[in-house]
Structure 1
C-alpha cells in the first residue's frame, strides 16, 4: 500500500516514525552503530524515536508544549551520573489551578545495554549522556497541557525524567572502571537524586501523584512504583501506569529465549540481582527482570497498558531476525496485515501468553488493565493514540478515558480486547524495510 492510499491514521504513524529532525538523526546514528546488537537497536529506536514525538492529532493541528531540560544539581557529589559521567536531566512543566498540587512523573524508555561494547555506544548518545539530549522536548499525550488531548491530567505538574543508565533506573555499581574504561551504572542513584530534587520543588506536598513510564521506562515504573508511594504523604492518592513495559519471557520461533538471555547479561553487568528481593538463587538472572516477576512484590495500584501484539516484542522477542534465517517472517514483522494464517496463529499464541502472565493481575480489584489488539508500542505519549476522535478504543473508551476512570476510582477498569483483526480503531504501525546502515 502506498502512502497516498493508506488511511490517514497510518500516514500519521509513518510521519511520527520518520520526522525527528536532529534528535532523530542522533537516534539513527546510534541505531546504525548498534545494528548487530539487534535487541538494543530496536527498542532504543522505538522508545527514543517513536514515543517522545507525537503525531498530529486530528482534533488539533497545534504541537505540544516544548519544555526545557533541567540538569540535576550536584550530580557528581551524589554519584548520580549517566553512563558517561554526565549529569542526568529532567523536563518539568508546572501545573496550575486545581492541578497545582498534583504531579505526574514519566520515566523515559530506550532499551538497555547488555555489555561494555553496547554501553560504550550509548555513552555517545542521548540514551547514555546528557551531552546529547535535546534541550527541549515536546509534551504530548499524557504529558499534554491541552485539556482536549489530556482531560484528566492537563493542568498537573508534569515531569519527564530522561533515561541514561542502560538498566531501567535500577543499577548501583560503585566501581567506575570496567576493563580500564569509565562506566557509571548508577540508575538507582539517578532515581533517588531526581526524586529528592522534585520533592523539594513541591512533590512532597502532592495530594495526587502518578508515576508513569514507557517501554524500558514502563519496566522502571514497575520496579519503582512502591518506592514512589513511600516518598509521598500517606493520605495522598498515588498510583502507577506502565505503558508497553510488560515484556514476556517467551520462546521465539526458533525455540530460543532471546530476551531472557539478553536480560541475563544486563542483570550481571549492572549487578541487579540483589536489587530484586523476589529473585531466588536458583533462577536465571534474566528472569528477575521480567515484569511478571517484579509485579509480585508491588503493593501500590498499577495500571497495565499494553498492546496484545506489541510491535517491538513481535519483531525482537517472538520473531527476531536471528531466528528467521530464511526471512519468512519479514513481511509479517513489518506489517501485521501481511501475516499468513500460520503466523497469525503464532501471534494469537503470543497474545495468550500475555493473558496468562497477567492472570493474577486480573484478580486485583485496585489494578487497571487496558490490552488492545493493536500492533504498536507505547501509546500514552502520543495524542493520536492517547485521546483523540480517532484513538483506539476498547468498550468504546479511549486509553485516556480508561486511565482517568481508574485513577479517580470512577469505575473498575479491566479492558481486554478481542483477537486481531477485530478492532477497527487500532493504529497499527507499518514499517519500512529494516535499516541496514
Structure 2
C-alpha cells in the first residue's frame, strides 16, 4: 500500500512538472503577444453629444453623434489625442439607407463601450508616448469622413449627411472639458477616419490655443486616385458620387478646390490636399494597403471572374504579373508622396510593406516585441520620435517580400466573398 502511494505521488509530481514545463514553453513560444492578450482590456463608455441638434448635427438616421473619452493624468493631463473612427463611405441613396440601419450610420446600433488599445492604450509599456494623454475616439456615423453637409428627404426616407456638423459638435463638446486649454494635441484617424485627419487638420488648429503644439496623423488614410487593373477610374467616380451626394465640396480646402476647378472633388484625395495642409503631418500607411488593393486596384467590377482572388487572400499566391502590378501600385503611392517626403521639414512618414489596413489601434502592430519595423523602428517609436521632434522620421520600407517583421492582415475567405458581394 505504501509503495502504491509513493508511486502515485511520484506520478503526480511528474505530471505537475510536465504541466509546468508545458506552460513555460507555451509562454516562451507566444512571447509577449500572450502577455498583451492577457492584459486587462481598457473599456471606455460612450458619450452622446446632447447639444448636437442645436448645430444640426445628426448621424445618417437622425440619432445623436457620440465619442468615447478616457481622461489623461499626470504630465499628460493637458494633452489631447483625438482618433477618428473609420468605416468606408456611402455614395448613393440605397447604400446610405442601408448604412443608416447599422453601426456605421447610427449610434443606436453602436457598441456603447469601446476597447482602447494601441495608440489609445493607457499603459505606458504598450503606448509609451501617449498613454497618459486625454484620448478620444470619435464615432463615425455619416459616411463621408466627417465632411458632408446636406439632407435628403423624398417623403418616405430621410437621411442626414451631416459629417461636418458632427465634427464641429464633438469639438465644441470637448472644448470646455479641457481641449480648449490643451498644451499638446494630435488629431489622428484610421482608414476613412485617416482621410478625415487630412480633411480637418488645418481646421483643428483653429480651435486650440495659439501656443499649443498641434499635429495630425493619418493611419491607412492615404487613398490613391489610381486607375484599376482595367484602367478605369473606379475610385475617382466613387469619390465624385460621395462628394456630390453628401455636400462635401463646400467643406474641402478652398485653396485646393481653387487649383482643381475642373474636378474639385479630387481634393477629397489626400495626394491633392496634402500640399495645402500647413499643420505638421505624419502619414502611416502600408504600400500594399489591403483595402486599396481590394477596392481601388482590383475592385470586383474589374475582376468579374475572380482571377485575383487567390492573390488577394495570400500574397505568396500572386503570379509574377500580379506581383508586378502590386509593385507598380507601391511605386505610384511613393511618387504621390514624393514632394512631401523631400521638402516637408515638419512631416513624418512610415510606409511599410505589410499587407494590412490600419496599424495604430492594434497593439500587435502599434508597439509590441514583434511589431512591424522599418529600419528597426516600430510604428509607435516612429510616431513618437516625430511628434516630440526627437529625430527626423521618414521611413519607407523595401518592396514586398523583403520585410520579415510584417503582420500580413489578410481578410478571411468568407470575409473576402462578402466584401466582393457588397462592392
Structures share fold, TM-score greater than 0.5 = yes
Give a deviation string over 1:327-385, Cα, whole Å, max 9, x none: 21111111112111111111000000001110111120100000001000000000000
Q: Any idea what SS the aligned residue of 1:327 has? A: coil
Maintained 8 Å contact 2:103/2:109? yes
Shift of 1:390: 0.5
Shift of 1:261: 0.9
Q: Any idea what SS the aligned residue of 1:265 has? A: helix
2:218 to 242, 257, 264: 242
Range with greater deviation from structure 2 (72-81 or 216-225): 72-81
The two structures have a TM-score, normalised by structure 2, of 0.88
Gaps of 5+ in 2: 1-25
Measure, in 2, the Cα distance between the counterparts of 1:415 and 1:98: 29
Measure, in 1, the Cα distance between the counterparts of 2:148 and 2:226: 25
Q: Any idea what SS the aligned residue of 2:200 has? A: helix
Match of 1:23 in 2: none
Shift of 1:176: 5.0
Maintained 8 Å contact 1:95/1:158? yes
**Aligned residues between the structures:** 384
Shift of 1:236: 1.1
1:425 equivalent to 2:401? Answer: no
1:292 equivalent to 2:271? Answer: yes
Measure, in 1, the Cα distance between the counterparts of 2:331 and 2:177: 44
Give a deviation string over 1:300-352, Cα, whole Å, max 9, x none: 00100000000110011101111112321111111112111111111000000
Query: In structure 2, do the counterparts of structure 1 residues 118 and 60 end up closer, same or farther at CA, with 3 Å as the change threshold?
Result: closer
Measure, in 2, the Cα distance between the counterparts of 1:178 and 1:235: 48
Measure, in 1, the Cα distance between the counterparts of 2:37 and 2:318: 34
Measure, in 1, the Cα distance between the counterparts of 2:184 and 2:36: 28
1:183 to 145, 148, 159: 159
Return the index of the structure with the highest Cα Rg.
2
1:86-105 aligned within 5 A: 86-105=63-82
Query: In structure 2, do the counterparts of structure 1 residues 313 and 58 end up closer, same or farther at CA, with 3 Å as the change threshold?
Result: farther
Match of 2:14 in 1: none
1:291-330 aligned within 5 A: 291-330=270-309
Query: In structure 2, do the counterparts of structure 1 residues 159 and 351 end up closer, same or farther at CA, with 3 Å as the change threshold?
Result: same
Range with greater deviation from structure 2 (274-283 or 215-224): 274-283
Gaps of 5+ in 1: 1-7, 13-54
Q: Any idea what SS the aligned residue of 1:138 has? A: strand
1:222 equivalent to 2:222? Answer: no
Match of 2:5 in 1: none
Maintained 8 Å contact 1:261/1:286? no
Match of 1:71 in 2: 48
Q: Any idea what SS the aligned residue of 1:279 has? A: helix
Match of 2:4 in 1: none
Query: In structure 2, do the counterparts of structure 1 residues 178 and 115 end up closer, same or farther at CA, with 3 Å as the change threshold?
Result: farther
Measure, in 2, the Cα distance between the counterparts of 1:57 and 1:144: 17
Match of 2:91 in 1: 114
Shift of 1:257: 1.1
Shift of 1:167: 0.5
RMSD: 1.7
1:26-425 aligned within 5 A: 59=36, 61-173=38-150, 175=151, 177-178=153-154, 180-276=156-252, 277=254, 278-280=256-258, 282-362=261-341, 363-425=343-405
Shift of 1:285: 4.9
The two structures have a TM-score, normalised by structure 1, of 0.85
Shift of 1:209: 0.5
1:435 equivalent to 2:417? Answer: yes
Give a deviation string over 1:51-80, Cα, whole Å, max 9, x none: xxxx96654521430000000012222211
Maintained 8 Å contact 2:275/2:340? no
Measure, in 1, the Cα distance between the counterparts of 2:399 and 2:84: 30
Q: Of Structure 1 and Structure 2, which has the larger fraction of its residues in helix?
A: 2
Measure, in 2, the Cα distance between the counterparts of 1:178 and 1:108: 30
Q: Any idea what SS the aligned residue of 2:296 has? A: helix
Measure, in 1, the Cα distance between the counterparts of 2:37 and 2:411: 25
Q: Any idea what SS the aligned residue of 2:209 has? A: coil
Query: In structure 2, do the counterparts of structure 1 residues 432 and 91 end up closer, same or farther at CA, with 3 Å as the change threshold?
Result: same
Shift of 1:296: 2.1
